Amino acid sequence: MADIIKLLPDHVANQIAAGEVVQRPASVVKELLENAIDAGATLVKLIVKDGGKALIQVVDNGLGMSETDARLSFERHATSKISSAQDLFNLQTKGFRGEALASIAAIAHVDMQTRVEGSEIGTHIKIEGSKIITQEAVATPKGTSISVKNLFFNIPARRNFLKSNQVELRHITDEFHRVALVHPNIEFHFYNNGSEIFNLPRAKHRQRISHVFGNKMTDRLVPVEEETEVVKISGFICKPEFAKKSRGEQFFFANSRFIKSPYLHHSVIAAFEGLIKKELYPGYFLYLEVDPSSIDINIHPTKTEVKFDDENTIYAILRSTIKHSLGQFNVAPALDFEHDPNLDTPYAYKEKGVVLPKVTVDTAFNPFQETAERKTSTSTYQKASAKGWENLFEGADASVNTEDFSSVEIESDDAVQGTFYSETESDAQAGMTFQLRRKFIVSTIKSGMLVIHQNRAHERVLFEKFLGEITVKEGVSQQLLFPLELSFSKQELIILKEIKESLNNVGFAFESLEQETVKVTGVPLIVSESGIGTVLDQLIANYKEGFEGNSISQAELLAKELAKNLAVKSGEVLDSESQLALVNDLFGCKEPSLSPFQKLTYTTISEGDIDKKFS
């Protein structure tokens, strides 16, 4: 039998490896940013075009590479980080396997310029699909600049699976956050299609978080600090009242590397037990430092999943540390039966000295002695009011003829009722409904009884209303007398700009979306002024999680989220007119039987089913 096993060519092997390392443009951004940090850069620039599909460029002022190193960096498993298997258990750098640049070069056009300090000229290399096109000397600043163009140009199937530019940009922004948050000592710049999105100067961790997520985060953070023999924990958690229904501001870093750990996430949730609802997620930025030999970061190609030697101990320490911080900064409620709050000194008076109170007494005051001013005002009022009193009773007849009222008739209640309802009309025919348990609306029909879920029914009504307004662009806006100022992070502003047109169609109006502080000048009629901030926050968070990438999905998703946030909730009391209006609106919908989330909105109980209960 002939031999059938053979070695794959390098360019094919690199494309296979690229499938593990490069899943989307954000994967390239992650690898290039980590390489820049490993090179000791203090300034890193990220430049992106068309969601990373057309261009991803990372420029740093790090060590740079010599001509030989620049050529070897694109070979498979060529690395300067490790030299033996033992080094895998003492890793201090981001990358170490040496497959990133080789994988990227196999599926894109790569252009690299690099120069080491002390060298007069640098190296310029062009690669297309693992094939080196040119390598020449060039004048370039110290450091490295790598441009990745036309990602997946030779794998059309992979390129077709990429999402829209906005979605890919959002994934790139997430990777940028993960790198920038753990390296506040490095200055970062992020440009998209020629416009600057982030300009992050060197700062401390708390300031870096505020620069990334907006100034509103400053007052929400509670510091966390603990050091043990097993792990050193630092960072911040968000106060319980700012927990959200969607994930987004949850970050774990182990030895300056972003990680995903559902197990440790559960420890944070356990620490917040009793302070937030089960469906909410608290925000946190936690930095863990452990012995490099006690952690395995090589169990996944993306290196975001790690394995700790003693996860149970870290879980317990982390939960206790967060609980301690919540109690130390008076975030968690506590009971102290020995404490009397009446004896507390107000904060404004803690530093003030003791001052005896002074009482001023007017010894010349006599309440029984009228002054000249009081006498004058009293007499003037009396004269003015008494003048012309005789004219008040002119034309009045002292005798009143009571017979004039004998023909007056009082209208009875029965006559008034007869104006609206006929004597033969039943309550059901008059549209009578009642509310059950503040959750259901019950009404009678010819075949029996109708039970409507008020929350789901209203969601269906609002969903079709908002969907029609977004597509037809006929939403009614209620202008605010005083514009409302709301703060958003730069990533939230990106999403807000993306959905601005759809929001305008349903009635929202914005003055400007260029700064972190956004002025809202108009809202839909159904949105109260006090709920504008909550509605927009939930809308942005849920849109980020669920958007699939086409205009129809965008319209449907926005309509769903608006309906979910603005619909009548279970537990709200509705008057009879509102109940009847909801019933009529529901059966005027195209799909009255299901809510936008495919749940039953109503059910009917036939007269036969009721009779069976009594048989």
Could you read off the pLDDT of 281-294 as tens digits, one per residue?
899 999 999 988 88
pLDDT surpassing 50 at residue 522: yes
Mean pLDDT, residues 466-484 = 83
Q: What is the mean pLDDT of the chain?
A: 81
Is the pLDDT at 321 greater than 90? The verdict is yes
Q: Which residue has the tokens 């990227």?
A: 104
Instruction: Give the DSSP H/E element, type plus range, for residue 235.
Output: strand 232-238
Report the CATH number at residue 19: 3.30.565.10
Residues 169, 246, single domain; the answer is: no
Helix, strand or coil, per DSSP, at residue 317: helix
340 belongs to a structural domain: no
Burial of 484 (0-12, 13-18, 19+ CB in 10 A): middle
How confident is the model at residue 148, as a pLDDT?
A: 94
Q: pLDDT: is 340 or 151 the higher one? A: 151
Query: What is the sign, positive or negative, of the torsion defined by CA atoms of 330, 333, 334, 336?
Result: positive
pLDDT band at 415 (very low <50, low <70, confident <90, very high): very low
Burial letters 567-594, b for 16+ CB under 10 A, else e: bbeeeeebeeebbbebbebbeebeebee
For residue 54, pLDDT beyond 90: yes
Domain of 560, CATH number, reads: 3.30.1370.100
- C-alpha 137: how far from its chain's center? 48
Q: H helices within 485-570, ranges in order?
A: 490-498, 500-506, 532-546, 551-566
**Which of 40-54, 255-269, 388-402, 548-562 bottoms out in mean pLDDT, i.e. has the lowest?**
388-402
Q: What number of CA atoms fall less than 13 Å from residue 18's CA on the CB side?
A: 26
Q: Are 252 and 315 contained in the same domain?
A: yes
Which pLDDT value is given to residue 274?
A: 86
- Assess whether 191 and 290 both reside in one domain: no
Choosing from 277, 306, 328, the residue where a domain stops is 328
- What is the rounded CA–CA span in Å between residue 335 and residue 299? 46
Other beta carbons within 10 angstroms of residue 102's beta carbon come to 22
Regarding whether 484 and 464 lie in a shared domain, the answer is yes
The CATH number given to whatever domain includes residue 234 is: 3.30.230.10
Is pLDDT of 420 > 50? no
36-61: average pLDDT: 94
Residue 181 in this model has a pLDDT that exceeds 60? yes
82: its two tokens: 């490790």
189: β partners:
45, 199
pLDDT of residue 338: 66
Bigger pLDDT: 126 vs 374: 126
**Of 328, 343, 377, the domain-final residue:** 328
Note whether residue 20 is domain-resident. yes
- Could you tell me which residue, 143 or 561, shows the higher pLDDT? 143
Per-residue confidence (pLDDT) for residue 392, from 0 to 100:
55
d(CA 244, CA 265): 15
Answer yes or no: do 184 and 246 share one domain: no
Among 200, 225, 255, give the residue marking a domain's end: 200
List the structure tokens of 562.
């608006």
Q: Which of 220, 211, 208, 218 is nearest to 287 (CA)?
A: 208
| Higher pLDDT pick, 420 / 339 | 339
pLDDT attached to residue 219: 86
Lowest average pLDDT, out of 255-259, 500-504, 515-519, goes to 515-519
Higher pLDDT, 222 or 401: 222
Q: How far apart are the first and last CA of the chain?
A: 82
Render pLDDT for 202-237 as a digit per residue (tens, 0 to 9).
999 999 999 998 888 888 899 999 999 999 999 999
Task: Tell me, yes or no, whether 196 lies in a domain.
Answer: yes
> Could you give the dihedral angle defined by the CA atoms of residues 587, 590, 592 and 597, in that order, rounded to the nearest 10 degrees?
-150
Mean pLDDT is lowest, of 176-185, 186-195, 432-441, 544-553, for 544-553
Domains of the chain: total: 3
Q: Where are the beta strands (DSSP E) in 35-175?
A: 43-49, 55-60, 109-115, 122-128, 131-138, 143-149
Does residue 406 carry a pLDDT above 60? Answer: no
Please check whether residues 244 and 271 belong to one and the same domain: yes
Distance CA 322, CA 329 (A): 11
Residues 166 and 101 in one domain: yes
pLDDT at 394 over 70: no
**H/E segment holding residue 265:** helix 262-271
Q: Is residue 130 part of a domain?
A: yes
Percent of the chain with pLDDT over 70: 79
Measure the CA–CA gap between 47 and 55, rounded to whole angstroms.
8
Question: Confidence class of residue 549 from pLDDT cuts 50, 70 and 90?
Answer: very low
Residues 473 and 510 placed together within one structural domain of the fold: yes
Q: What is the pLDDT of residues 101-131, one digit of tens each?
A: 888 888 899 999 999 998 999 999 999 988 8
Lowest mean pLDDT among 259-273, 309-323, 329-343, 462-476: 329-343
Domain that holds residue 455: 440-603
Supply the DSSP string of 5-36, one letter for each residue: --PPPHHHHHHHHHHHH-SSHHHHHHHHHHHH
Give yes or no: residues 217 and 312 share one domain: yes
Across residues 590-608, what is the average pLDDT? 92
Selection from 102, 118, 100, 93 nearest residue 27 by Cα: 100
**CB of 477 closer than 8 Å to CB of 507:** yes
**Which one, of 1, 12, 6, 231, lies nearest residue 107 by Cα?**
12
Segment 307-325 shows an average pLDDT of 92
- Residue 310 C-alpha from the chain's centroid: 33
Q: Is residue 375 part of a domain?
A: no
Nearest to 601 by CA among 612, 588, 611, 614: 588
Inside any domain, residue 364: no
Query: For the chain, how big is the Rg over CA atoms in Å?
Result: 36
3-state secondary structure string across 441-492: EEEEECCEEEEEEHHHHHHHHHHHHHHHHHHHCCCCEEEEEEEEEEECCHHH
More confident site: 369 or 391: 369
The lowest-confidence range among 121-135, 407-421, 469-483, 589-603 is 407-421
- What pLDDT was estimated at residue 135? 92
Comparing CA positions, the residue from 117, 118, 115, 122 lying closest to residue 137 is 122
In this predicted structure, what is the pLDDT of residue 592?
Answer: 92
Beta-carbon contacts of 138 under 8 Å, excluding residues fewer than 6 positions away, are 113, 121, 122, 123, 124
The answer as to whether 409 is a domain residue is: no
Indicate if 163 and 289 belong to the same structural domain.
no
Lowest mean pLDDT among 105-109, 135-139, 297-301: 297-301
Does residue 322 register a pLDDT over 60? yes
Is the same domain home to 19 and 118? Answer: yes
Q: Is residue 34 part of a domain?
A: yes
Same-domain check for residues 193 and 251: no
